[in-house]
A and B are shown apart, each in its own frame.
Chain A
């Protein structure tokens, strides 16, 4: 069974997992043997942008392991999961693909229908 995980919500619940929760879930599913592809769309295309992820200090408390979406994408790729990012959603946000990590491969909106056809289940998060 081929699964396409479409990630749209971005930077939510990162205090919980210290990751994006759906990228985390994708990695866990991949580790469990899932044949999985990730498609970043909407605000989640920001995960493909090269970024620094500083620690967060709140009073005396410091969160030492902030979310590292670039690393999550790279580790998904290293595990054999394809990662795509919607080109037009990058364009709409003024993000040049030169600023993006190599782990995420741009895909045009017109190509998404083909991508959907190539998968048995589509999970839109």
Chain B
């Protein structure tokens, strides 16, 4: 039987190293053929906002092209591409969290959902990993 991992994440973009760890776990699981569900709760719904834009770095004197630094929406897009078929990545943003943050304009491959979806994903998974805000 195919394995499935559900991951709940909460941190807003760039706030915590835990988000980087979560991205790495998700990518590693997909590369190992494990289906992954993500439930983005609270600030984590902003990870997928389409309006994110990279910038130049005036301290280093580099242009935006020289920096070539992806935003979190680019990282999630890469994960969505990695999990486009089999194994599959299912990314669900908490809808109420989205509404309170005005974060509804998101990249392709992301769905709106709620706690019932998180429960359903957890019940259908081999394991659930909660990475909360601390």
Contacts and interface: CB of A to CB of B under 8 A. Distances in A.
A10 B133 CA distance: 11
A9 B134 contact: yes
B116 interface: yes
Query: Interface residues of B toward A: which range?
Result: 10 to 19
B119 interface: yes
Interface residues of A, number: 19
A33 B41 CA distance: 19
B85 interface: no
Interface stretch (B18-26, B68-76, B122-130): B122-130
A20 to B, nearest CB: 12
Given A9-B133, A12-B133, A28-B114, A33 B128 contact: no
B114 A123 contact: no
A34 B119 contact: yes
Contact of A125 (B114, B123, B132): B132
B8 A32 contact: no
Contacts of B91: none
A45 B8 CA distance: 23
A9 B119 contact: no
Given A124-B130, A125-B130, A125-B132, A16 B42 contact: yes
A29 interface: yes
A58 to B, nearest CB: 17
B42 A13 contact: yes
B133 A123 contact: no
Contacts of B123: 1
Contacts of A123: 8, 128, 130
Interface of B: 8, 41-42, 96-97, 100, 114-116, 118-119, 122-123, 127-128, 130, 132-134
Interface of A: 1, 3, 9, 12-13, 16-17, 21-22, 25, 28-29, 32-34, 121, 123-125
Given A9-B133, A123-B128, A123-B130, 11 more contacts: A9-B134, A13-B133, A17-B96, A25-B115, A28-B115, A29-B116, A32-B115, A33-B119, A121-B122, A125-B130, A125-B132
